[in-house]
Amino acid sequence: MTPLQHVTADVANNASIAATARIWHYAQVRENASVGENCVIGRGAYVGSGVEVGDNCKIQNYALVYEPATLARGVFIGPAVVLTNDHFPRAINADGSPKSADDWKPVGVDIREGASIGANSTCIAPLVIGRWALVGAGSVVVKDVPEFALVVGSPARRIGWVGTAGHPLTEISPSQWECPVTGARYEETATDLLIEVQDS
């Protein structure tokens, strides 16, 4: 079985593409990138050199995933999202000479399992988006996002928590939260992170 790649997609010969992945119209996957099982790369999306995309990820239309980004299993990248890679961007050096690859070091966005980045958001590397976090559409993320956090705005700030189902959690008592969809319980910790409470 070979990956489903539209004839207009530009996929490097040495990119590693799982057999169950789908790459749509005008998408580009660069050299040494890795795309896992059941991934969908949407129309016009860009996956940079050496980017790692875990299993079951969705990169929607016209999203730009610049190297050295890493996407864990089950990550959702909305339409027109940008994951940057230059912390101090310049086209030229201080002496006026054109900047080349030798004049800067790329930095990446590390997105952990199950996290979602809403449409038209920008993540300014370097940073980490925690497991199952949700970045609201149109946000500009400039610092690390905790696991299960719901962040919105420019700059993005936490306004609540979300569960693995992606819905905002309801506070049922101090530091105790519940998913309105699955009924799963979560506990807020002293470090402002959330942990899922396992049934005993």
pLDDT of the residue at 199: 64
Show the CA angle centred on residue 118, arms to residues 24 and 58, nearest 5°: 30
1-10, 19-28, 127-136, 142-151: least confidently modelled range: 1-10
Residue type, position 111, single letter:
I
Tell me the average pLDDT across 108-121.
98
Show the CA angle centred on residue 46, arms to residues 23 and 55, nearest 5°: 55
Using alpha carbons, list the distances in angstroms from residue 179 to 92, 99, 196: 50, 49, 10
Sheet with 46-47, strands from edge to edge, namely: 10-11, 28-29, 46-47, 64-65, 82-83, 122-123, 140-141
User: Average per-residue pLDDT in the chain?
Assistant: 94
Q: How far apart are CA 25 and CA 60, in angstroms?
A: 12
Per-residue pLDDT tens over the stretch 13-67: 999 999 999 999 999 999 999 999 999 999 999 999 999 999 999 999 999 999 9
Q: Enumerate the domain spans of the chain.
A: 4-163
From the options 3.50.30.40, 3.40.50.1820, 2.40.70.10, 2.160.10.10, give the CATH code of 4-163. 2.160.10.10
pLDDT of the residue at 1: 58
